[in-house]
Amino acid sequence: MEQVASGFLQPLSATHPLVILPLNIAGFWLALKIYRRTGTPILHPVVGGSLLVFAGLLLLGVDFAGYQQGSGLLYLLLGPAVVALAIPLKQNLAMVRRAGWPLMLGLLVGAVLAPLVAVVIALLLGGSHTVLVALATKSVTTPVALALTEQMNGIHSLAAGVVAFTGIVGAVLGPSLMRLLGMHDERVTGFTLGINAHAIGTVRALEISALCGAFSALAMGLCGALTALLLPVLISA
């Protein structure tokens, strides 16, 4: 909190919060307008907003470290934003309870396989420790991924990029892929998005329905907790 506050006291520059925060807001707002106008999944505001912010950073000559410094307030708000996703979960708690053990089994399989497949492929290709750490945290939301990355001596920027890419791909392609496979149950769609695309996928699930969002929030939270418990042990082994 003190570091975030001190950022606003620094001399005005391209990495100052008063420059980076409006850039984030403007990029997302413009991308959201385009998405609502077109309705095209590939133009999801997370995708469009990321591209617009990236273009702005290139014009300003700001690297990721500078961007992270200027976005300190947004990083601070990530935790409360994730906790707020418990609201649709509470509203649909009875439905979640009825799903029971099949969900828990799906969570266990999904939470293990999602990072494991990526890590095994990276190992076969000769990936370094930092790459393995980043890929291992790809299916948890950003606050959890950054905390795990720091604990396992990984690179924050790489982990954040992998998490964002995973979430974007899952949110854009996930619902269409589920329909293509004949999966029309919103509970299954939401749970799948929560495991594989974390917070970004949960936002997409909430666009489908509150029920879909509730199951996605549940999966995201449980997957994050399970990964936080198991991943450091597995990596150290």
Q: Given a cut of 70, is residue 122 above it in pLDDT? A: yes
Cα–Cα distance between 68 and 53 in angstroms, integer?
Answer: 12
pLDDT for the residue 3: 65
Q: How confident is the model at residue 18 (pLDDT cuts 50, 70, 90)?
A: confident
Three-state DSSP at 31 gives helix
Q: Given a cut of 70, is residue 8 above it in pLDDT? A: no
**Cα→Cα distances 27→31, 56, 107, 219, Å:** 6, 9, 34, 29
Q: Given a cut of 80, is residue 234 above it in pLDDT? A: no
Q: How confident is the model at residue 6 (pLDDT cuts 50, 70, 90)?
A: low
Q: Each residue of 77-87: b (16+ CB within 10 Å) or e? A: ebeeebeebee
pLDDT for the residue 1: 62
**Cα→Cα distances 230→121, 199, 234, Å:** 20, 20, 6
Cα–Cα distance between 165 and 205 in angstroms, integer?
Answer: 17
Residues 123-137: what's their mean pLDDT? 82
| pLDDT tens sequence across 36-88 | 888 777 788 888 888 899 999 999 998 878 888 888 888 777 777 767 767 76
Cα–Cα distance between 195 and 215 in angstroms, integer?
Answer: 10
| 78 Cβ neighbours under 8 A, 6+ residues apart | 141, 142, 143
Answer yes or no: pTM beyond 0.85.
Answer: no
Answer with the residue of higher pLDDT: 162 or 12: 162
